[in-house]
């Protein structure tokens, strides 16, 4: 197993299982190291305000200079005077240099951009796909960079997860953690609370909507994944239902259906126990 220190840039991933604040710090360090090595970090540094970030270079013009732009009567460079031809040659040479440099830098920026896309949370890829590297990093920084605070009277600082990261971590923990001895009502209330917080914060894996991904589908799948270990029948039946893209259902509808299902199941179990305990004299 590779250690944290032995990982290469290409192996870095959001799914490393690192502690949240370490995860962000380590990940953004890898992005910065790669961009710095390619000399393009100043085009995407998320710590800079937008007006201080270098724009991607472009040539001073989009096409080669035509001789008629020097002399309206010229249809090719051979028809230019010696002085005009020298001016034409200098402008073309300058354009070639600008274009080559711009292409070189853009290719390096694109290399870092591809790395960012490949190593970000999968659920954010379709949201950030058309954004610039700077816009991607600012978006992720706002959501996942830990908050550093110094409590009043304290001499040391405390690192906290960002609110979005806390909700995201709590959601993932709820998906993976067995219900244990927690009451069904309390457990469902936790799901409902985290869902509403995730929706308000626009956390994609909790509440994302598009034509391709109907709202709540991912959240419902997560809930059913958590339900399956102790109520497989409900999980399987509802997975089949939501596979139909025309089946309109909200996350809260599924929570209510599960609560009702468990109540009916509990009532039936109690009735069966009462019947078994009763014996005619």
* Cα Dmax for the chain: 125
Contact 146, 21 (CB under 8 A): yes
Residue that is last in its domain, among 87, 114, 147: 147
Domain assignment present for residue 178? The answer is yes
Q: Judge if 133 and 192 occupy the same domain.
A: no
Report the distance separating Cα 64 and Cα 66, nearest Å.
6
Does the pLDDT value for residue 45 go beyond 70?
Answer: yes
Lowest mean pLDDT among 46-50, 112-116, 210-214: 210-214
Q: Judge if 111 and 178 occupy the same domain.
A: no
Does the pLDDT value for residue 19 go beyond 50?
Answer: no
Number of domains forming the structure of the chain: 2
Higher-pLDDT residue of 147, 109: 109
Instruction: Tell which residue, 217, 189, 193, has the closest CA to residue 205.
Output: 217
Q: Which of 169-178, 179-188, 224-233 has the highest mean pLDDT?
A: 224-233
Domain assignment present for residue 8? The answer is yes
Q: Judge if 135 and 184 occupy the same domain.
A: no
* Stretch 56-74: mean pLDDT: 75
Kindly report the average pLDDT of the chain as a whole number: 78
Q: Is 278 exposed, middle or buried (0-12, 13-18, 19+ CB in 10 A)?
A: exposed
Q: Is 48 exposed, middle or buried (0-12, 13-18, 19+ CB in 10 A)?
A: middle
Instruction: Tell which residue, 180, 254, 196, has the closest CA to residue 223.
Output: 254
Lowest mean pLDDT among 24-28, 82-86, 274-278: 274-278
Does the pLDDT value for residue 197 go beyond 80?
Answer: yes
pLDDT of residue 2: 39
Residue that is last in its domain, among 122, 147, 172: 147
Contact 17, 7 (CB under 8 A): no
pLDDT of residue 17: 39
* Stretch 69-88: mean pLDDT: 81
Q: Judge if 121 and 222 occupy the same domain.
A: no
* Rg value, the chain, Cα: 29
> Which residues, at least 6 apart from 250, have a Cβ–Cβ distance to it below 8 Å?
215, 216
Tokens of 148: 């550093």
Instruction: Tell which residue, 241, 221, 34, has the closest CA to residue 133.
Output: 34
Report how far apart, in Å, the C-alpha atoms of 162 and of each of 144, 258, 270 are: 6, 31, 45
The predicted-structure confidence for 211-264, as pLDDT tens digits, reads as follows: 554 567 888 999 999 999 989 999 999 999 888 878 888 888 899 999 998 888
Q: Judge if 177 and 125 occupy the same domain.
A: no
Q: Judge if 11 and 109 occupy the same domain.
A: yes
Q: Judge if 222 and 196 occupy the same domain.
A: yes
> Which H helix or E strand runs over 264?
helix 251-277
Does the pLDDT value for residue 199 go beyond 90?
Answer: no
Report the distance separating Cα 245 and Cα 126, nearest Å.
19
Residue that is last in its domain, among 92, 120, 147: 147
Q: How far is Cα of residue 157 from the mean position of the Cα atoms in its chain?
A: 28
Domain assignment present for residue 212? The answer is yes
Q: Judge if 238 and 120 occupy the same domain.
A: no
Q: What is the pTM of this model?
A: 0.51
Domain of residue 191, residue span: 163-272
CB neighbours of residue 43 within 10 Å: 21
Domain assignment present for residue 279? The answer is no
Report the distance separating Cα 78 and Cα 67, nearest Å.
9
Q: Judge if 173 and 89 occupy the same domain.
A: no
Q: Judge if 133 and 168 occupy the same domain.
A: no
Q: Judge if 179 and 235 occupy the same domain.
A: yes
SS3 letters across 199-212: HHCCCCCCCCCCCC
Q: Judge if 104 and 222 occupy the same domain.
A: no
Domain assignment present for residue 142? The answer is yes
Instruction: Tell which residue, 191, 11, 253, has the closest CA to residue 115.
Output: 11
Higher-pLDDT residue of 13, 222: 222
Count Cβ neighbours within 10 Å for each residue of 91-104 and write b for 16 or more, e otherwise. beeebeeebeeeee
Report the distance separating Cα 250 and Cα 36, nearest Å.
45
């Amino acid at each position: 197993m590779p250690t944290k220190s032995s990982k290469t840039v290409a192996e870095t991933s959001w799914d490393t299982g690192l502690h949240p604040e370490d995860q962000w710090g380590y990940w953004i360090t890898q992005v910065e190291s790669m961009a710095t090595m390619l000399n393009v970090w100043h085009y995407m540094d998320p710590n800079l305000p937008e007006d201080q970030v270098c724009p991607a270079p472009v040539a001073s013009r989009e096409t080669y200079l035509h001789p008629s732009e020097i002399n309206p009567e010229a249809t090719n460079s051979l028809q230019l005077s010696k002085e005009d031809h020298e001016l034409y040659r200098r402008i073309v040479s300058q354009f070639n240099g600008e274009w080559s440099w711009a292409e070189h830098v853009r290719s390096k920026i694109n290399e870092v951009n591809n790395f960012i896309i490949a190593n970000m949370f999968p659920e954010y890829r379709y949201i950030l796909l058309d954004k610039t590297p700077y816009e991607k990093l600012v978006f992720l920084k706002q959501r996942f960079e830990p908050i550093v605070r110094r409590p009043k009277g304290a001499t040391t600082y405390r690192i906290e997860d960002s609110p979005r990261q806390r909700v995201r971590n709590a959601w993932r923990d709820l998906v993976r953690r067995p219900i244990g001895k927690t009451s069904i009502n309390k457990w469902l209330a936790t799901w409902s609370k985290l869902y509403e917080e995730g929706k308000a914060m626009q956390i994609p894996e909790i509440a994302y909507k598009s034509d391709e991904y109907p709202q709540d589908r991912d959240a419902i799948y997560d809930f059913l994944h958590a339900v399956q270990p102790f109520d497989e029948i409900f999980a399987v039946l509802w997975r089949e239902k939501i596979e139909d893209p025309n089946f309109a259902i909200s996350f809260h509808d599924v929570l209510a259906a599960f609560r009702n299902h468990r109540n009916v199941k509990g009532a039936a179990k109690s009735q069966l126990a009462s019947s078994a305990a009763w014996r005619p004299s």
